[in-house]
Amino acid sequence: MSLFNKKISSLLVFIILFVSIPLSSQAAGATPEITNIVTYVAANASNVTVRVKLNFKATEVIAAIGNKKVNLTDRYYYWEGTLDIQDLPHMLTKLSVTASNHERLFYASKDTVFLIDTAPYIGIRSPFPYKFLSKSVLANVYTIDDLTPASMKIYLRSYYFGEPDILASSPDGTIKREVSLGGAIKNQELVFESTDGKKVTKTYFPVYIDPSHRLVREHSVPGRVLDFDETRILFVNKNKVYVKYIKTGVTKPITVDAVIKDGKLTPKGCLLEDQNGVVYDHVNGNNDPLSNIPFSSIVTKGNFALFYQPVWSNRLYTLRNLLTQQNQTFKLSTNVIDFGTVGDVVYKNGNYNVPDNVYKVQDGMTTVFGSPERKIMPFDMIYDGKSIAYYTHDFKEDMNYLYLYSGSGEPELVFSQIDHFKMEAHRTFEYNNGWLAYFVGGWEIAIRNPQGEVKIMYLSPDHNYSGAEIISLSEDGQVLFVVNGKLYTASFDQPVSSAVSYHLNKPKFFGSELYGALGDAVVKVLPGSSSVYRTVYRDRGGIQGTDQLIVKYSGDIKPGPGYEQIQLSSEYGDDESVQFSKEIRGNELFIQLKNKMQDASKYKLILPGDALTDPNNRILEAYDRTWEDITGIVKPFYTPLEVSVTNSQSFPIDQANVSLTELRSQTGLIYNFSTDAKGKFSTKILKPGIYLLTVSAPGYLPQTKQIKFDGSLLKIKYDLNPEEVPNAAPYWDSKAKLAVSNIGYEQAQIAWPTAIDEKPVTSYRIKYSGQASAVTVAGDVYSLMLKNLKEGTSYSVQVEALDERGQWSAPLYTEFVTPQRGVQLNLAENGIYEKSEGIKVQLSAVGAPARVASYEAVLQWNPEELSLKLETIRSMPGFGDVIVEQIESGKVKLRATGSGLGDKVQLAELSFSAKRAGQYILSLMESSGYSEPSDITYSSSSSMSTSVRVVDADFDRSGVVDIMDVALLSSALRGFSTTLEMFDMNVDGLITIEDMDYVVEHMNEQEAGQ
């Protein structure tokens, strides 16, 4: 691993050298003496601190590493200084220290080396964080270490005691293959761990694991999906929020100064919740905070959102128009409230046992929706825009009732039962478009169509009602519910529970199709099957001697995509009974074994979820089903075998091949097995005899042992030696990179380090885009000027090394973009402006040099945030008056003619005013440019946006910066404010005395002006 990678934690290494150096006399008859130089070398990821002690008075002490030098500072007892070493390629580094007096009559010097052993670096090319995974993950990871080889292992983070189950391991620190997740089904952290025997590095990746066969990835994003609809995906990546437009694939960022943890899409933007629980309504670049709103309480329908705030014993409900950002509030003493997609709110106020009307509010008008009798007043309800489904309770009879009510006439009683459980809207009953789904007792769900017909769906015996909840109901009567943490679907036409997923996020119906989010993916849920699993039983031979297994389903079945992946295994490695044929007859799958099962043996049948389908080609099960059983009571003769495979450093070798061949066998059968991530394999062998046991692994020399199997436990260990790789090609140091400098409009300088090889490097070959043939330079040349480039163009460059054996190295690769002549937008050096002073920007023409005869520039901004003061537009020397064309609100075109020459010609100055403090965007649009006297035109090929930050020292909004504003900032400095961002005047992320200086300076300037 590279020593100086910035990600590596610092390490202090002390090298103390006691050196007696005789002083060379520069004065006649004098021989000054020096007792020793003591050097303390402190090193971290990017620098080395050098301390030197002397026994004589010196006026100058210099420390040097190669061509890097530093003059040390006299600390009275020692001299000290710091050297930057992050670009040095080697761990063993020469350090030179020279000390001299001011008259330069004598000096002392010493060379030494320092050594730093850093923790391994883990490089991960695949997977990415927040990945949705099913049964395996494509791992492409490597390690870099400085002194010794570093190993690598991958596992899922365990929050329990004990060692985690290792998924994959590698002694050389490289894993590049598909890695099984071992049947995991939950959101977890994938851990990559590397060690060099002394230090350990760990990298944690959150992943979303669900091997359900009913989940199909529809769309992916580079991050974690927060929400989605039919046209957009809202996601977060590295604390930044983005929207991806599904049809075009375009991704746009959302600017918000907060770390976002959750979000919901709205018709014109989104609702975002930050890590502190603050909710923002983001529309057109503005973030409107919604005070004290629990994000979990927000329900959106159509163009409206309904949420509440606890207010003493009541709730203050707010209906927000997501198009206009206008609010309407309701203060209620109960939570019996719902609303429709057009903003019509239906609620019942007052206590449960107090008669009152059910009211409807729409467009600010309150009317009576209906007046049910007192004994059937709603306790909880759902409104679908036409009618309400509501639950009530008769305390005298201890009965629950479920009604449908359209607002006129008598409510229709749908269901009643003794109070076994509390009914609750959106949990135990759901209503949508005339369809109604509700729990009946503890083991059944009823689905009622708009015509009043009811079908009962019986939950399977492994369901436990205590963990059951209805999640959603589609407009055509499909119900989504959860039992014991697992999601299921059912419908009126198909009233059987069909498993979907263990943790599908944001499930929602688009018409009749169900979608959800998992990690980086939006997934589509395949329709559920009409046939469900019933049982597996054995036939022919009873308890002993079984040679047939029968799998039974509730309805007819057909072969599915995973039909050929059905597996039958035994605890015995040479058990031939696991060979079988299969046949489907109606609703049964017959597994016919080649031989009868062994007595007193464990057998496992694995049925992939997609192995079978119903007659409509719908896969039968979301998850693979495993059936295990033990036959008989008399154990057969067998030999236990345990194999352990490691390298010469005793590190386990994952996926090593273990081959078992019986000698003197007429069939010549060979049994092949693989070691696990711990380098181990174990089985039981039924047939005694002499076997050849061969172990092999890529990169290692195979080993073979002759073993006798006689019933005794065999524990065999293999230590494999690596293969020799002769005549290796040149390679680059792990920190080597191709550097680009002096980038101009038509040229750029590239430089590269020396390639490493056991034979001399004879030449380097350089290839770059736009060049038909490669450029070759001698092996002692390490830089090249690329010429005849095009301005405003992206270039890719690679360098390869050739040795005297004719072997080429892997390429070093980089990219760069040449600048483009044209018009650019210039801001203040730090892009920060005081609100009272406005935002001053300049237009410039850039070239080499620029010869400007005329220019045209189009600027755009958000007029709700910024205003352009047209009267302040000022032409720069050499140009006539600026002609301003107002294209639309927030967009103008500027034109002028004149004469200017230089690398950067000032064209015009503009002033904007901000309505409030905040972060804003100014854009110089595509095609803005200038013309030379020769009519050559240089224009921008794309828009250029730049961010400005406006601060306001007038904290109390009094119109002036005064002593009250100083007092408010002082309070913030002492930690008495929770809105610290407004006080950060220099935008460094901290509230410090520098911000106080800024405010006091503005207060003094205002007082002086008065």
Tell me: the pLDDT tens digits for 926-961?
A: 778 888 887 777 777 667 778 888 888 777 777 777
pLDDT digits (tens, 9 = 90+) for 521-557: 999 999 999 888 888 887 655 445 678 899 999 899 9
Per DSSP, 754 falls in state: P
pLDDT score, position 667: 61
Give the lowest-confidence range in 151-160, 265-274, 969-978: 969-978
Give Dmax over CA atoms of the chain in angstroms. 125
Query: Any bridge partners for residue 751, and if so which?
Result: 739, 783
pLDDT digits (tens, 9 = 90+) for 627-644: 888 776 677 888 999 999
Q: Which residues of 30-59 are buried (b: 16+ CB within 10 A; e: fewer)?
A: eebebebbbbbbbbbbbbbbbbbbbeeebe
pLDDT score, position 525: 95
Statement: residue 28 has pLDDT above 50: no
Task: Locate 50 and state its tokens.
Answer: 């050098």
Arithmetic mean of pLDDT, 9-28: 30
Statement: residue 123 has pLDDT above 80: yes
- Phi first, then psi: give them for residue 307, nearest 5 degrees: -150, 170
pLDDT, greater one: 148 or 139: 139
Task: Locate 85 and state its tokens.
Answer: 């070493």
Statement: residue 23 has pLDDT above 50: no
Residue in 140, 201, 188, 158 with CA at minimum distance from that of residue 1: 201
- At the second CATH level, the architecture of 34-115 is Sandwich (2.60)
pLDDT score, position 225: 96
pLDDT digits (tens, 9 = 90+) for 502-524: 889 999 999 899 999 999 999 99
Statement: residue 858 has pLDDT above 70: yes
Question: Per CATH, is 641-718 categorized as 2.60.40.1120?
Answer: yes
Arithmetic mean of pLDDT, 382-407: 85
SS3 at position 993: helix
User: Position 692: which residue type?
Assistant: L
Q: Which of 29-43, 200-214, 802-816 has the highest mean pLDDT?
A: 200-214
Arithmetic mean of pLDDT, 29-48: 50
Residue in 453, 358, 351 with CA at minimum distance from that of residue 393: 351
Strand-strand pairing, 866-868 and 883-888: unpaired
pLDDT score, position 543: 47
For helices 963-973 and 993-1009, give the axis angle rounded to 10 degrees.
Answer: 180
pLDDT score, position 105: 62
Cβ(570)–Cβ(603) below 8 Å: yes
Classify domain 121-209 at the CATH topology level.
Immunoglobulin-like (2.60.40)
Alpha-carbon gap, residue 34 to 20, rounded angstroms: 6
Per DSSP, 163 falls in state: P
- At the second CATH level, the architecture of 532-627 is Sandwich (2.60)
Strand-strand pairing, 513-518 and 521-525: antiparallel
- At the second CATH level, the architecture of 372-528 is Beta Barrel (2.40)
Which CATH code, of 1.10.150.130, 2.60.40.420, 2.60.40.10, 1.10.3470.10, is assigned to 739-818?
2.60.40.10
Statement: residue 371 has pLDDT above 60: yes
Statement: residue 8 has pLDDT above 90: no
Q: For residue 26, give every residue at least 6 positions away whose Cβ sits within 8 Å of its Cβ, in sequence order, or none.
A: 104, 105, 106
Establish how many alpha carbons lie within 13 A of residue 554's alpha carbon, considering only the half-sphere containing its beta carbon. 14
pLDDT score, position 19: 30
H or E element in which residue 964 lies: helix 963-973
pLDDT score, position 817: 84
Do the domains 641-718 and 34-115 match in fold?
A: yes
Classify domain 822-951 at the CATH topology level.
Immunoglobulin-like (2.60.40)
Residue in 479, 512, 514 with CA at minimum distance from that of residue 496: 479
pLDDT bucket at 419, cuts 50 / 70 / 90: low
Give the lowest-confidence range in 345-349, 787-791, 954-958: 954-958
Task: Locate 891 and state its tokens.
Answer: 């967009």
Statement: residue 783 has pLDDT above 80: yes
Residue 107 CB neighbours (<10 A)? 20
Statement: residue 133 has pLDDT above 70: yes
Statement: residue 856 has pLDDT above 70: yes
Residues in the chain, how many? 1010
Arithmetic mean of pLDDT, 742-767: 86
Query: Any bridge partners for residue 647, and if so which?
Result: 720
Arithmetic mean of pLDDT, 157-161: 68
Cβ(1004)–Cβ(965) below 8 Å: no
Statement: residue 612 has pLDDT above 60: yes
H or E element in which residue 216 lies: strand 215-220
pLDDT score, position 39: 52
Give the lowest-confidence range in 52-66, 492-506, 691-705, 966-980: 966-980
pLDDT score, position 527: 93
**Domain chopping of the chain, boundaries:** 34-115, 121-209, 302-364, 372-528, 532-627, 641-718, 739-818, 822-951, 963-1002
Statement: residue 102 has pLDDT above 70: no
Q: For residue 998, give every residue at least 6 positions away whose Cβ sits within 8 Å of its Cβ, in sequence order, or none.
A: 953, 985, 986
Arithmetic mean of pLDDT, 183-203: 85
Q: What percentage of the chain's residues is helix, strand, coil (to nearest 5)?
A: 5, 50, 45
pLDDT bucket at 11, cuts 50 / 70 / 90: very low
Task: Locate 198 and state its tokens.
Answer: 């002394």
pLDDT, greater one: 1001 or 910: 910
Statement: residue 9 has pLDDT above 60: no
Mean pLDDT of the chain: 82
pLDDT bucket at 989, cuts 50 / 70 / 90: low
Q: Counting beta carbons within 10 angstroms of the beta carbon of residue 613, is it exposed (0 to 12), middle (13 to 18) or buried (19 or more)?
A: buried
For 9-72, give the DSSP string. PPEE---------PPPP-STT--------EEEEEE-SSEEEEEEE-SS--SEEEEEETTEEEEP
Cβ(390)–Cβ(384) below 8 Å: no
Statement: residue 364 has pLDDT above 60: yes
Statement: residue 235 has pLDDT above 50: yes
Statement: residue 716 has pLDDT above 90: yes
pLDDT score, position 293: 84
pLDDT score, position 981: 65
pLDDT bucket at 137, cuts 50 / 70 / 90: very high
Task: Locate 323 and state its tokens.
Answer: 């198009």
User: Position 152: which residue type?
Assistant: M
Give the lowest-confidence range in 331-340, 483-492, 932-941: 932-941
Q: Please, what is the Cα angle at 672 between 670 and 676, to 5 degrees?
A: 160
Arithmetic mean of pLDDT, 295-319: 85
Alpha-carbon gap, residue 40 to 17, rounded angstroms: 9
**Has this prediction a pTM greater than 0.75?**
no
pLDDT score, position 869: 83
Arithmetic mean of pLDDT, 205-227: 93
Statement: residue 998 has pLDDT above 50: yes
Strand-strand pairing, 918-924 and 625-630: unpaired
Cβ(441)–Cβ(428) below 8 Å: no
For 54-88, give the DSSP string. -SS--SEEEEEETTEEEEPEE-SS-EEEEEE-TT-
